[in-house]
């Protein structure tokens, strides 16, 4: 077995996980270099290579597969550095993106500004054409007008085009013709046709997804092709795959064609690794995954062993941002990462986030010019970090700078630096607890009956506090916690998904029509599989209906138990599966109501690695007691006014089966685990830290 490298370039750090013939993962970590992404990647890969006693060149030469995840698309949208994009739509419907699905948190706030559309209204063009919902031509396509529109698009030097005609999901002929005209009159100009990207009903979501996708095409095409070139020039000859927000990975060609699927693709990998670690420890099928990075805290779910998906992913603020529209792994984010900035409002109330120091300049303790207090600065002041062993000793922390940053707010509220630091950490924990509650309790899942898998470089600072507050008794902090998303890529499958709308109901179910839709989706996925670089014979396709009770507005993903719907008996099984899903989420089951089916999905999955399996337990023994001279100590604060001489354990000194009782600090090269008083941690046979609250 050759090496497999997985990379996740986040807003602050670039994480690398390398797995070789021995099956043991090693981690490399470096600051993300936003101006030249490959520089940070190269440094992180080199750090991992050194752990394997290899040079960078040797590791790349012996690697067969590299999986890459990136926040490049997300960052471009946040910083408004996407392509200048024209939006082309049916005449009479120019305000699709303006009259968006939106809202506001406070319905009584009449001063809230109306949100801007993703593409400015002045960049919208109309074409005379119209399809009916029955796929017939209501108004013929005006080709001369379309040619004039394209001429104007070229004259105004647009860099991409989003095409979204009314009811193109029923008949995409007019969109296809406009695309042909673009190829003829503006060769090389990137464009997205809505019926090819997201052929489902709900006009705004389709338009929004199309606009987002088109705006990313020039950037992501350049980025991914440039990355491929950089890797080849560095000596890498293996296969390159890119992680997707659909919870898998795919080839570069597919991601260049649909770059919207790179948005959130890094966090989407975290539930995959969480599911694998829960299987290793036999912790059940319901898992809460927490990924605490430098910029955000991301939380997601694994329910009954399956990833959860949503079409409610917002870019920007919830309700006032822009909906992605595509089906994506359901990961919720709050601005409470290690780099989140603590601040005091005009009323003297402390807040944490959502602003972040990022990697440039970063927290004050990084010594790169940051002046504002962050969560990481608070942890440094509390003594949780060894300033000489951050990133395994590759980065020196400036604790004095962290203290100065904390003092800028502690003096305003009459607290000592240590008291203020612990309150910053506590407030960040409360934000994280609230985010977990939003995705568990509000979705019908009791966190006390679930396992937690915690990851991200900052997870070890407070995951025990979070688990205690939630009442969770089964908590895993993997050895790869600091690179949880990158680790997920090691377990990810090649995934492709196709979707189509076909509205029907249990009252007169259109068995033949649904059968044709599912056959069409299957054919598309098989063509994709045939186009892969080499044979992927071991594949599976699962089918999902988006269903609701009659009169409801939104749908729930409902797996089709028997795959294809062959007869009315299989329809009855699907109906019963929807009843169970609705009852699990909303605690309501309405068997007297008809079930409506709106969209149909087919999901191809091709395994890249063997699935994880449970690993046998080992006997538990206590680590060296706190009183032994062989254990180093450092003054740490755990909420009291006085410091505690806290035992410090290097991870290399802890063998499987050893239990460490708090207060204690366990130092991994790329993360730190704080064991609070009254709690303990055991290293499992699989190499994961099992937290006992």
Domain match, 70 and 89 both: no
Position 601 in a domain: yes
CB of 118 closer than 8 Å to CB of 97? yes
Count of the separate structural domains present in the chain: 4
Q: Which domain range does residue 234 map to?
A: 3-76+221-262
Specify whether 498 is located in the same domain as 585.
yes
Backbone angles phi, psi at 579, to 5 degrees: -55, -45
At 675 the pLDDT is 93
Which of 161, 115, 496, 102 lies closest to 323 in space, CA to CA? Answer: 102
CATH number at residue 576: 3.30.1490
Is the domain of 40 the same as that of 107?
no
pLDDT higher at 185 or 71: 185
- pLDDT at 289 (0 to 100): 94
Helix, strand counts (H, E) of the chain: 16, 36
Please report the pLDDT score of residue 400 as a whole number: 93
Q: Which of 116, 113, 138, 119 is nearest to 128 (CA)?
A: 138
Q: What is the mean pLDDT of residues 684-689?
A: 89
Q: Do 540 and 599 have their domain in common?
A: yes
pLDDT at 626: 47
- Report the pLDDT averaged over residues 329-334: 86
What DSSP line would sit under 100-146, residue for residue? -S---S-TT-TTPPPPPPSS-GGGEEEE--EE-TTS-EEE---HHHH
- CA distances to 25, 147, 373, 468 from 291, rounded to whole Å, are 18, 49, 21, 17
- Chain-centroid distance of CA 643 in Å reads 38
Question: Do 201 and 150 belong to one domain?
Answer: yes
Q: Say yes or no: 72 and 85 in one domain.
A: no
Beta bridge partners of 492: none
Residues 6+ apart with CB under 8 A from 585: 443, 444, 556
In a domain, 293, yes or no: no
Encode pLDDT of 663-672 as tens digits: 999 998 888 9
- DSSP type of residue 551: T
Q: What is the pLDDT of residues 135-182, one digit of tens each?
A: 999 999 999 999 999 999 999 999 999 999 999 999 999 999 999 999
- What's the CATH code of the domain at 19? 3.30.420.40
Q: Is the pLDDT of residue 348 over 90?
A: no
Q: What is the CATH number of the domain that holds 100?
A: 3.40.220
For residues 24-53, one letter each, b for 16 or more C-beta atoms within 10 angstroms of the residue's C-beta and e for the rest, the string is: ebbbbbbbbbbeebbbbbbbbbbbbbbbbe
**Domain assignment present for 636:** no
- Between 357 and 676, the more confident residue is 676
Within this chain, do residues 188 and 248 fall inside the same structural domain, yes or no?
no
Q: Determine which helix (DSSP H) or strand (DSSP E) holds 195, and give its type and residue range.
A: helix 194-197
Residue where a domain stops, chosen among 606, 621, 656: 606
pLDDT tens per residue across span 418-469: 999 999 999 999 999 998 988 888 777 888 889 999 998 888 889 999 999 9
Q: What is the pLDDT of residue 143?
A: 96
Structure confidence by residue, pLDDT tens digits, 622-662:
665 544 445 689 999 998 878 899 999 998 889 889 999 98
Mean pLDDT of the chain: 89
């Amino acid at each position: 077995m050759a090496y497999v490298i997985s990379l996740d370039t986040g807003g602050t750090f670039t994480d690398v996980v390398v797995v070789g013939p021995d099956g043991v993962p090693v981690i490399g970590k470096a600051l993300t270099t936003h101006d030249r992404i490959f520089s940070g990647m190269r440094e992180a890969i080199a750090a991992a290579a050194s752990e394997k006693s290899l040079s960078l060149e040797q590791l790349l030469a012996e690697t067969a597969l590299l999986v890459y995840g990136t926040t490049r698309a997300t960052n471009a949208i946040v910083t408004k550095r996407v392509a200048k994009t024209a939006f082309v739509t049916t005449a009479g419907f120019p305000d699709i993106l303006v009259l968006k699905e939106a809202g506001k948190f406070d319905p009584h706030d009449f001063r809230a500004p109306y949100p801007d559309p993703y593409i400015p209204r002045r960049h919208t063009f109309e074409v005379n054409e119209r399809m009916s919902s029955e796929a017939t031509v209501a108004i013929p396509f005006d080709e001369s007008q379309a040619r004039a529109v394209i001429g104007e698009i070229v004259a105004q030097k647009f860099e991409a085009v989003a095409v979204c005609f009314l009811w193109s999901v029923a008949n995409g002929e007019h969109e296809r013709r406009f695309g042909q005209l673009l190829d003829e009159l503006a060769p090389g100009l990137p464009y997205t046709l809505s019926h090819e990207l997201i052929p489902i009903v709900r006009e705004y979501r389709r338009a929004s997804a199309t606009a987002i996708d088109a705006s990313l095409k020039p950037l992501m095409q350049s980025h991914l092709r440039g990355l491929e070139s950089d890797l080849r020039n560095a000596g890498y000859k293996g296969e390159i795959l890119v992680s997707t927000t659909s919870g898998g990975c795919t080839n570069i060609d597919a991601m260049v064609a649909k770059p919207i699927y790179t948005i959130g693709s890094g966090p989407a990998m975290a539930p995959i690794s969480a599911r694998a670690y829960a299987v290793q420890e036999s912790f059940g099928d319901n898992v809460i995954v927490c990924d605490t990075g430098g910029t955000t805290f991301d939380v997601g779910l694994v329910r009954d062993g399956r990833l959860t998906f949503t079409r409610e992913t917002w870019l920007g603020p919830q309700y006032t941002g822009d909906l992605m529209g595509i089906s994506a792994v359901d990961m919720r984010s709050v601005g409470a990462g290690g780099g989140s900035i603590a601040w005091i409002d005009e009323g003297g109330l402390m807040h944490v986030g959502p602003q972040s120091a990022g990697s440039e300049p970063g927290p004050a303790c990084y010594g790169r010019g940051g002046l504002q207090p962050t969560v990481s600065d608070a942890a440094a002041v509390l003594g949780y970090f060894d300033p000489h062993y951050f990133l395994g000793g590759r980065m020196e922390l400036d604790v004095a700078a962290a203290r100065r940053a904390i003092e800028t707010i502690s003096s305003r509220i009459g607290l000592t630096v240590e008291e203020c630091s612990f309150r910053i950490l506590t407030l960040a924990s409360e934000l994280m607890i609230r985010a977990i509650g939003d995705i568990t309790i509000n979705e019908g899942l009791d966190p006390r009956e679930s396992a937690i898998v915690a990851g991200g470089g900052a997870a070890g600072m407070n995951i025990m506090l979070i688990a205690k507050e939630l009442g969770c008794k089964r908590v895993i902090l993997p050895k790869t916690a600091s690179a949880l998303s990158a680790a997920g890529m090691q377990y990810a499958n090649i995934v492709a998904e196709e979707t189509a709308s076909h509205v029907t109901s249990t009252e007169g179910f259109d068995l033949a029509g649904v059968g044709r839709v599912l056959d069409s989706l299957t054919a598309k996925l098989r063509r994709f599989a045939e186009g892969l670089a080499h044979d992927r014979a071991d594949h599976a396709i699962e089918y999902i209906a988006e269903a609701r009770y009659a009169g409801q507005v939104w749908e729930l993903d409902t797996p089709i138990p028997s795959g294809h719907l062959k007869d009315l008996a299989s329809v009855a099984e699907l109906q019963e599966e929807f009843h169970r899903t609705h009852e699990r989420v909303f605690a309501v089951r309405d068997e007297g109501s008809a079930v409506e089916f709106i969209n149909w999905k087919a999901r191809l999955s091709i395994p890249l690695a063997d699935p994880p399996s449970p690993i046998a337990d080992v006997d538990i023994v206590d680590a060296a007691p706190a009183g032994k001279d062989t254990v180093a100590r450092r003054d740490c604060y755990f909420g009291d006014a006085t410091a505690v001489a806290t035992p410090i354990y290097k991870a290399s000194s802890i063998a499987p089966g050893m239990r460490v009782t708090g207060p204690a600090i366990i130092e991994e090269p790329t993360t730190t685990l704080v064991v609070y008083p009254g709690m303990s941690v055991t290293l499992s046979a699989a190499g994961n830290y099992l937290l006992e609250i």
